[in-house]
Structure 1
Amino acid sequence: MWYLALILMFINIVFYYSSKRDSKYKDGNLFLVTIPEYTIESIDVQKIIISYNRQLNILLSISFIISIISILLFNLFPPLITVFIFFVLIFINTVSMQIPFKKAREKLLKIKKQNSWLILNNIKYKIDLKASSPYIEQSTFKLKHFYCVIIIDIYIFLLMIKYKADVIIYPFIILQMIILLTGLIFIKKLRIQTFCENNEANIMINLNRKQIFYDCLFCLTLSDALFNLVIQLYLLEMFKFIYIIFVTILSFITTIITLYKIKDYHNKKTELLSHYNECSYSLSSDDCWKIGLMGPAYYNPYDPRTLVSMPGGMQLTFNTAKKGYRYFIIGFISVILCFLILIFGYPYYLDVTNNIVDLSLQNNKIIVTSEFYNFDIDITKIERLEITNNLGDGKRINGTDTGIYAKGKYRFEKYGDCKVYLASLHKCYIIIYTEDDIYIINDDNIEDTKSFYQQLKTKQ
C-alpha cells in the first residue's frame, strides 16, 4: 500500500501549489476580495500574504511527515481500513488547507472595511439576442467522435460479462458512461453568455467556448476509456504491465493537452475582447464567496450562471444558489452511496449471513461458489494440503481485495505466488498445492472450513 502514500503526497503538492495561487493579485481579486491595485504594496496586505504563505509551508511540511508515517500505517491495517484512512487523510488535508485561506480573507475584508477601499463597478446587463439565436447551436465538433468512447466502454462491458469480471469493476464503467452522458447534456444546455457589445464576437466566443468543452470532455473520456480497457485486459492476463505504463503516460499527455486548450481559449477570448467594450455581468462578489470545509463556495441567487469562474483562475465552481447545484449534489451523493453499498455493503451483508462463499465436493472436484468468484480444482491434481490461521506477509499482484473478500494472484513469503479466493474476515485458510498452482481458499464460517479440510484429507 506504499503507493497510496505516494498518491497522498502528490495530492498534497497539488493542493499546496493550487493554494499558493490565491496569494497572487489577479483581475482585481486577492483571496476572493476585490481591492484596488494600489493597495497590494501596502504593509497590511503584504503582512497577510507573508503570513498566509508561511502557514501553507508549515502545512506542506506536516503533510509530508504524515505521508511518510502513513507508509508504515497502511501496512498495519487491512485494505478496507487502509482505504478509509487514506480518504480521511485527504479530507483532513483539504480542510486544513482552507484554514489559512479563510483567516487571510477575513483579515483582508476587515482591512478593506477599515480603509474604505471602494471598487467602482460599472455593472450592466445585456442580452445579445442574435447570439442567443439557433445560430449559436452550431459547432465544429462532431458528436460522432464520442462513438469511439462508447464503443470502447461497451467492449469493456462485454469482456467483463464474458470473463465474469469482479462486480467491483462494474460501477467504474457505469460511472464513466454517466459522466459522458452528463457532460454532453451539460454542454448542449450551456448558457449563452454576452461578453461584449459586438454580436459577431459574442457568437465566436460562445462557439469557441462550447467547442473547448467538447474537446476537453472527449480527450478526458477517451483516455479514461483506454485506461479502463488496458486495466481490464491486464487483469485478464491478455496485456503486460508495460501497457498500463504506456496508457498512464497517454492520460498524462491528454491532461496537458486539455489544460493547454483551456488556456488557449482564455488567451483568444482576451485578445478578441481587447478590440471591443466588454460587458460586466458579475456583482461585487465579496459577499457572494464563502469559505467552507472543502474550499470557496459561491452563492448568488441574482447571478443567472450555474457555473461560475473562480476570480483570477481557470477553475469553475457551482453557484450554490441554483437548482443545478442541488441536482448535482444529490446525484453525486446517490452515486457514491450506490458504489459503497455495491462494493462494501452488499459483500458484508452476504458475509454476515454466511452467503459470501460456499465450498463443496462434486465429481472429484472442489467447487468454490461465490457471488464474486467461481472456480473448481480437480482433486486428482492435489499434491498436498495445509490449514492455517495465519498466511504471513504477502501482497496482491492483481485481483481484488475489499477487506471483506479477496481474489486474484498474491505473493506470500511462506508460499510464493498463489491464487487466492478468500472470505477475508474469517481467519482460517486451506492451502492447496497442485501440479500447476498453489490455491488458498476458505469458507465464510471457520468451523465449515475446518470440516471441509478434514473432508479433503479423507479424499487424498
Structure 2
Amino acid sequence: MDTLFLILPALFVYIFILALFLKQAKPSNNILFGITLPSQALKDASIGQLQAAYKKSYILYGIISLITIAPLYFLADYMSMALIYIFIWFAAFIYTSKLPFNKFHHQTAALKREKDWFVGAKRIVRIDTKVTLLKKSMVISPYWFLIPVLISISLIIASLSKENVLLKLTGTASLIMTAILFIFYSAFRNMKTKEYSKNHDINAAINRATRRYWSILWLAMAIFESFNAIVAYTILTEGNSSDFTLWIIGIVMVSLVPLGAILFVHNKVRSLEQNLSQTDGQGILMDDDEYWINGSTYYNPNDQSVIVPKRVGIGTTVNLATRAGKWIQYGSIVLTIAIVLPLAAFAVQSDHTSPSFGIGDDGAVTIDYPLYDYSFHINEIQQLTLEEAIPTGFRTNGTATAEYARGNFSLEKLGATKLFIFKNSPPYIFMKLDGLYVIFNDQDKAKTISIYDELSKRRNAGES
C-alpha cells in the first residue's frame, strides 16, 4: 500500500512528540511544565494533582490523534489527497500537541504566584505598554471583502458561456460563502463587550484585540474559499472532474484548514484573556520564567544569544527577541510552505493528468506528462511488443502510486526504463531503444491496442 509510506512517518512523529510531552509530567532541573519551582514546591499535593491530570489529558489527546491517522488508510486510491491530508495532519498535530501543555503551564504559573514559589531574583513585569497597544487594535475594514467578492463574480461571468452547470455553481457557491463569512465578520465586529477585570483598560484591550483577531480570520477564510473555487473551476474546465468520492474527500480536507484556523484564533484569544485578566493592568511579579512564553518559546530582549538550549524537549531553540531568531523561526515556516505547496500541487496534477501519446508526421514520438516529458524518433525503436505484465523494479526518479507509475525506473531484466503506465490495466506497449526501454499504456485497453497498431504500421512503413 502506497499510503504506508505516509502512515509510518506519521506514526513516528506521533510516538516521538507524545513521548516528549508525557515526559514533561516529571520535573527536570526543578522545571515542571516549563515553570521553575523550588524543591519543596515539587512535593506539594497541588503539584501532584496537576501532574496526574496532565498525564490523563495527554493519554486522551493521544487516543484522539491516533484516530485521525486512520483516514490515510482509506485514501490509498487517491495519492494526492493522501499527501495533502498528511501535510495538514502534521501541521495540526504539531500545533495542537502543545495545547494541553500550555494549559498546565498557565495553571502551574498561577499556582506559583499564589504560593510565592519564586526562584532567584524577583521583579515586576509591567504590561501597561502592551495594554495600551492592544487598545489601539482596529477591526479589519469590510472593504477587504471586495477581494473574494470580485473573484466569485469573475468566476460567475466566466461560466456564463459554458454549458457545464457545475461551473456556474462554483462561482455562485463561492459568492454565497463570502456572504456568510461577512455575516460572521459583522457579528463578531459588533459583539457585546465582555468584562474580564475591574480594570477598564484591561477590558478595552482584550475586547478590541479579540474583535481584530476574529475579523482577520473571517476575511482570510473568505479569500481562502474563493481561491478554492478557482481551483475547482480550473479542474472542471479541464474536464478532470474525477469521481464523487474524490470531491467529497477534497471538500472534507479543505474544511480542515478553516477549522484549524478557528481553533488557532480561539486559543490565541483565550491566552490573551488569561494573561491580562489576572493582572491589574500594571504588572505582575515574575522571575526568569518571564522569558519563556508558554514554557517553550524563548523571548528575551536582554539576551543577544540567537540560539539557546530548550527548556522543554531536547536540542536548541531561537531567541525570538533577536532579528536573526525571527528570521530563522518564520523563515523556516515560509520555506516549508514553499516546498509543501508545489509538492501538493504536483501530486494533484499527477492524479488528474494522464500521459499523452502522439506520433508526428515526421515520425517523432512524443509522450507529454508534467516533469517527465520524453520524445524520440520512431526509427529509434529496436523492438516493439505488446505485453501483459510489467517486471518488478524500483523508482529512480519518478512518481508511483497504487494506480499508476510515471517517470524513470529500473526494472528487472530491462534495466533503465521510462514508465508511463496505469497499473493493473494491461496490455502494455514495450518500446526498446538504445540502452533504454519506454513502456506506455492507456487505461482503456482498446486505446492501448490502437496506439500499438499505429506504431507498428508506421514503424514497418519506415523500414520498407
- Give the TM-score taking structure 1 as reference length: 0.49
TM-score by length of 2: 0.49
